[in-house]
Amino acid sequence: MSLFPAEEEPPPLRANPWGMRPLRRVRTLAIALVIGVAAVSPAAPAGGAGFTSPNVTYVKTVPFEAGAQTGARIVGKHLYVGGAKSFSIYDISTPEDPQLLSLTPIGVTFPMEDIDTNGKILLIQDEQGSARVQGGLLQIWDIEDKTAPVKIAEVSGVNDHTFSCVLRCTYAYGSRGNIVDLHDPANPKVVGNWGSFNPNDGFDVTEVAPGLVLTSTRVMYLLDARKNPAKPKVIAQGSTHDNRLIHSNRWPNGGKDRFYLVQGETPISQTCNEESGAFMTWDASKWKRTRSFSVIDEFRVANGTYTDGDPPAGVWGCTNMWFDDHPTFNNGGLVAAGFFEHGARFLKVSPTGQISQVGYFTPFGGETIATYWATDDIVYAIDLHRGIDVLRFSSN
C-alpha cells in the first residue's frame, strides 16, 4: 500500500493560512541558499523573562522539579518530559497551566532528547557513555497510571541515540539501527537492525505514517516496515550537498505533505554563520517516481543584542534543535523551533517551501532545546535551565 495511488501526483498546493509578512530576511554571498535571519524591531520585554516579537506572548514558566530536561512528547492531554536524571508527566487539560502528575527518578543517564510513548508505555534510551551504562540501555516503563510509572523491562547493548515507537509501539526503532519487538513490553527482544547499510551518525527516526519510517541520518532513508518490521526496506533516500549532520525530522500529514521538515545540528559552535545548524524544507513531492528527496530551503539565526530579537553568541551557539509543525500545516504553514540561546522561533513555510521568520521568544539565560504545539496557539518551549516556557502565538 502506498501513500498515493501509483500514478497519482500529490494534491495541489494550498494557500498558506499564516499569511504574515516575514520579519526580516537577508541574503549572503557566502552560500547559495537563502538564510532567514531572526530580527524584529522593536522587541518587547517579556516580564523579565526575555524579549518577544509583538505576536508572541510569554505566559509563564513551569520550573522543573529535578535537573535539566531535554525533550518531550504530547499524547492526548498529557505532556511527557525526559531529562538526564528523571522524567515527568504533566496534565495539560488547561494548556496554559501544565500540572505535574509525577516525577520519576531514573538515575544518571545520557540526556533523553526524544522520548516516545503511546500513552501506555514510555521508551527511555540511555546512550553509551553515561557513568552508569556502557553499551547503551533501553528502558520500558508502564505509564498507565500517570501518577506512578513502573519500569517493566530493560534492553542492554543498544547504543542508539533515541528510540521511536513504530506500529503503535509494538516495535521500537533505534536511531542507529536496532529494532526491538515490544508486543510483550515486559519481555522486549532485539529482532533486527535496519542500519545494515551503515547509517552514519544516526540521531533519530520518525514514523511518518503507520509502518513508514524516515531516518535522521546524513543520508536520510525512508523505510517501509509494513510487511516485515524486523527487516524494513529502503524505498527512497536523500542527502545534502555537504553531507551535514541530520538530527531530527517531521513529515506533516502522515507523510502526505509535499514537504518534510528537517533539523541539522552544530552543537557548541559558539557563533552564527553559514555552517550553523539549520532548519530545512525538503522536497517530498516526487519521491514515488524518483525514489529520492532534496533540500529546498534552509533557515539560520544570527548573533545580536537581544533588543533586535537575537542574543549574542553563547556557549551552545546558533544551532537549530527540536521543532514541531503547527496542527494546521498543509503543504506549508507554521513551525515552532528551538534554537538554544536564540529561544523559540516561529517560522513560516510558503507553498513553495521557502522559509521566513514570523515571530520569536528570546529568553534571558535560556537554552531552548525543543518546542511543541499544545494547541493552535499555545507552545511549550523546553529549556535546559528555565523549565517549560509557556508561550502564546497570534497570527493576527
Instruction: Please check whether residue 389 is in contact with residue 368, taking contact to mean a CB–CB distance below 8 angstroms.
Output: yes
* Residue 341 CB burial class (10 angstroms; 0-12, 13-18, ≥19): buried
- Across the chain, mean pLDDT equals 85
Q: What letter would DSSP give residue 180?
A: E
* Cell numbers describing residue 111: 540526556
Model confidence over 27-37: pLDDT tens digits? Answer: 332 333 333 33
Chain centre to alpha carbon of residue 265: 11
pTM (2 d.p.): 0.86
Instruction: Please check whether residue 294 is in contact with residue 287, taking contact to mean a CB–CB distance below 8 angstroms.
Output: no
Which among 155, 288, 161, 323 has a CA at the least distance from the CA of 212? Answer: 288
| Direct distance between the N- and C-terminal alpha carbons of the chain, in angstroms, rounded to an integer | 41
Which among 85, 86, 83 has a CA at the least distance from the CA of 70? Answer: 83
Q: What letter would DSSP give residue 22?
A: P
Model confidence over 64-95: pLDDT tens digits? Answer: 876 678 889 999 999 999 988 889 999 999 99
Angle (nearest 5°) at CA 69 between 273 and 392: 75
Fold of 35-393: Methylamine Dehydrogenase; Chain H (2.130.10)
Which among 179, 180, 245 has a CA at the least distance from the CA of 216? Answer: 245
Which among 218, 196, 222 has a CA at the least distance from the CA of 292? Answer: 222
The domain segmentation of the chain, as residue ranges, is: 35-393
- Which residues are 347's β-sheet partners? 335, 357
Kindly report the number of other CB atoms within 10 A of residue 221's CB atom. Answer: 24
How many residues belong to the chain?
396
pLDDT value of position 385: 86
Q: Which stretches within the chain are classed as H helix?
A: 252-255, 287-290
Tell me the pLDDT of the chain (396 aa) as tens digits: 333 233 333 333 333 333 333 333 333 323 333 333 344 445 766 767 889 999 999 999 999 876 678 889 999 999 999 988 889 999 999 999 999 999 998 876 677 788 999 999 999 988 765 545 567 889 999 999 999 999 999 999 898 999 999 999 999 999 999 999 999 999 999 999 998 766 657 899 999 999 999 999 999 999 999 999 999 999 999 999 999 999 999 999 999 999 999 999 987 777 788 889 999 999 999 999 999 999 999 999 998 888 888 888 777 778 999 999 999 999 999 999 999 999 999 999 999 999 999 999 999 888 999 999 999 999 999 998 899 999 999 987
Model confidence over 264-301: pLDDT tens digits? Answer: 998 777 778 888 999 999 999 999 999 999 999 999 99
pLDDT value of position 49: 87
pLDDT value of position 308: 84
Kindly report the number of other CB atoms within 10 A of residue 132's CB atom. Answer: 11
Distance separating alpha carbons of residues 137 and 147, to the nearest angstrom: 24
Dump the DSSP string for 304-340. Answer: --STTS-PPP-SSTT----EEE-TT-SSSEEEEEE-B
Kindly report the number of other CB atoms within 10 A of residue 159's CB atom. Answer: 21
**Amino acid at residue number 154:** E
pLDDT value of position 75: 96
